């Protein structure tokens, strides 16, 4: 069994200002996606500027964050948030639902594409190779927050997560790290290599859906 590394969820504190690792992981994911997307921007549309790319990344990021948070609130712990609505805004403590974020980014992509003369799937094919950067960074944030751990197990690399996260104190699969390796690293490599050549519309986004589904099932 491996020891769980006790990592302070606060990465940096300056007076009353606290920067949490969870939020920092989102910034790293969004920044990394923007950086790689900017290198492929001319191939996507030579008329697009980096300012327009930044606008797209901003609105799609808002879709992920707002949709992910609302999805978590509605589907996982609605009663607690109704009792104390201010908890909804404490996103640095974790609590984001993938399906909510997925719906949010789909809506943002459709809206932004319509305003800028791009079809929904044109945008999806362009951004799909960079999504795993955010997924992988988010899973590291989950691991630091000691949330979304796996089932009990006796494998040598099992971990016992902190009591505040797992009162049962059972050795569990560190599933956040599995997802980082599959949804983050492996999926990024597959899509980035596949999208290096021109592909038919929906091919890249279809590959994302296919392999993301496979990796989630695993």
For residue 36, how many other CB atoms are within 10 A of its CB? 14
More confident residue, 180 or 98: 180
Q: Residue 12: beta bridge partners?
A: 19
**What pTM did the predictor assign?**
0.86
Calculate the CA 42 to chain-centre distance.
25
Residue 6, pLDDT > 90, answer: no
pLDDT at 52: 92
Query: Which percentage of the chain shows pLDDT scores above 70?
Result: 98
Query: Which percentage of the chain shows pLDDT scores above 90?
Result: 61
Q: Which residue has the tokens 């927050």?
A: 145
d(C-alpha 117, C-alpha 44), whole Å:
13
Closest CA to 25 of 180, 182, 190, 193: 180
Q: What tens digit of pLDDT does each residue of 20-77 get?
A: 898 899 899 999 999 999 999 988 888 888 899 999 999 999 999 899 888 888 887 7
pLDDT at 82: 82
Q: Structure tokens of 95?
A: 């609590």
Q: Which residue has the tokens 């007076």?
A: 15
Q: Structure tokens of 88?
A: 């909804």
As a whole number, mean pLDDT of residues 178-205 equals 95
pLDDT bin (cut points 50, 70, 90) of residue 186 is: very high
Q: What tens digit of pLDDT does each residue of 81-101 get?
A: 888 888 888 776 667 787 888
Residue ranges per domain, the chain? Answer: 10-217
pLDDT at 164: 84
Least confident of 14-28, 102-116, 137-151: 14-28
Question: Phi and psi at residue 150, in whole multiples of 5°?
Answer: -95, -165
* Strand, helix or coil for residue 19: strand
Residues 6 or more apart from 158 whose CB is under 8 A from it?
1, 2, 171, 172, 173, 174
Taking the CA atoms of 59, 31, 187 and 10 in sequence, report the sign of the dihedral they define: negative
């Amino acid at each position: 069994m491996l020891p769980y590394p006790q990592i302070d969820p606060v990465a940096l504190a300056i007076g009353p200002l606290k920067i949490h690792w969870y939020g920092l992981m989102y910034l790293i994911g969004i920044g990394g996606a923007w950086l790689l997307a900017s290198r492929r921007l001319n191939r996507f549309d030579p008329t697009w500027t980096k300012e327009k790319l930044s606008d797209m990344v901003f609105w799609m990021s808002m879709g992920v964050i707002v949709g992910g948070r609302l999805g978590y609130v509605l589907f996982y712990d609605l009663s607690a948030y109704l009792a104390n609505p201010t908890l909804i805004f404490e996103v640095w403590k974790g609590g984001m639902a993938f399906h909510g974020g997925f719906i949010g980014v789909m809506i943002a992509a459709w809206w932004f594409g319509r305003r800028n003369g791009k079809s929904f799937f044109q945008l999806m094919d362009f951004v799909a190779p960079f999504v795993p950067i955010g997924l992988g960074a988010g899973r590291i944030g989950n691991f630091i927050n000691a949330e979304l751990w796996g089932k009990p197990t006796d494998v040598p690399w099992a971990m016992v997560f902190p009591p505040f996260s797992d009162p049962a104190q059972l050795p569990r699969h560190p599933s956040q790290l599995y997802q980082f390796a599959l949804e983050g690293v492996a999926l990024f490599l597959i899509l980035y290599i596949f999208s290096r050549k021109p592909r038919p519309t929906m091919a890249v986004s279809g590959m994302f859906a296919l392999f993301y589904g496979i990796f989630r099932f695993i």
